[in-house]
């Protein structure tokens, strides 16, 4: 981990298929069990309980074996820089363009926690990016509105049953960001780079 610090910060963590289905994830290593009333459940409810139990068991086994056989990796997961770094990379590699708000949020959080990165360097350096207090305050005001756009995947697709609600939220969210734009350049960016706008798929 010391010879490859950047790879270590990106590679440490749970594989997506083994993430805990519970939020927040369990803090102890108690073996998962089926619900006490499992035998009384209907077929559909049993199917859902089985799937949830399967995912909990996978997470449990991963944590048990990872902790016993890969102590360095488990220790690395306690590094405060891991989530910050992975969050930044995730926001930078979105498949569609235009989501500058969440990327800016990741950069702000890196700058706010730069001391965690700098102190690990042989010669500490200043953070290469900076934001004014007004920029940070404005971002944190807009960020909750952005996250209200639920149910839309990275490629812009939504489930058929959620389509009408997503269209309504899309219009409302775009208008909120336009109303909060103080400069013509900000308005132009929202209008031209809005990620959920209609596209002519024939082109």
58-111 tens-digit pLDDT: 988 988 887 777 777 767 666 777 777 777 777 776 545 556 677 888 888 888
Whether residue 187 sits in one domain with residue 155:
yes
Judged by phi (left if over 0) then psi (alpha if -120 to 50, else beta), residue 125 lies in beta
Tell me the average pLDDT of the chain: 76
Q: Residues 115, 166: one domain?
A: no
Query: What pTM does this model have?
Result: 0.50
Which residues are within 8 A (CB) of 73 and not within 5 positions of it... i.e. 6 or more apart?
12, 66
Number of domains in the chain: 3
Residues 113 and 52 in one domain: no
Please determine, for residue 23, whether its predicted confidence score (pLDDT) is greater than 80: no
Confidence class of residue 20 from pLDDT cuts 50, 70 and 90? confident
What is the spatial distance between Cα 162 and Cα 158, in angstroms, rounded to a whole number? 6
Q: Are residues 4 and 61 in the same domain?
A: yes
Residues 152 and 94 in one domain: no
Same domain, 160 and 184: yes
Claim to verify: residue 121 and residue 156 sit in the same structural domain:
no
**6 and 70 assigned to the same domain:** yes
Dist. CA 100–CA 105, nearest whole Å: 9
Residues 6+ apart with CB under 8 A from 193: 97, 98, 100
Q: Which domain holds residue 118?
A: 80-130
On whether both 59 and 91 belong to a single domain, the answer is no
4 plus 70 within the same structural domain: yes
């Amino acid at each position: 981990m010391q010879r490859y610090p950047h790879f270590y910060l990106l590679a440490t963590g749970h594989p997506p298929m083994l993430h805990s289905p519970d939020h927040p994830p369990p803090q102890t290593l108690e073996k998962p069990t089926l619900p006490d009333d499992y035998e009384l459940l209907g077929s559909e409810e049993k199917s859902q309980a089985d799937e949830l139990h399967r995912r909990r068991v996978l997470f449990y086994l991963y944590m048990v074996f990872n902790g016993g056989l890969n102590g360095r990796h488990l220790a690395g997961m306690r590094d405060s820089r891991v989530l910050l770094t992975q969050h930044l990379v995730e926001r930078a590699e979105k498949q569609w363009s235009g989501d500058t708000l969440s990327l800016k949020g990741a950069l702000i959080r890196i700058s706010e926690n730069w001391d965690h990165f700098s102190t690990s360097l042989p010669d500490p350096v200043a953070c290469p990016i900076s934001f004014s207090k007004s920029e940070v305050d404005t971002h944190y005001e807009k960020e909750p509105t952005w996250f209200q756009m639920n149910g839309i995947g990275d490629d812009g697709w939504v489930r058929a049953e959620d389509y009408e609600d997503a269209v309504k939220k899309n219009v409302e969210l775009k208008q909120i960001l336009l109303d909060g734009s103080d400069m013509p350049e900000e308005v132009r960016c929202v209008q031209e780079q809005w990620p959920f706008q209609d596209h002519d798929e024939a082109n």
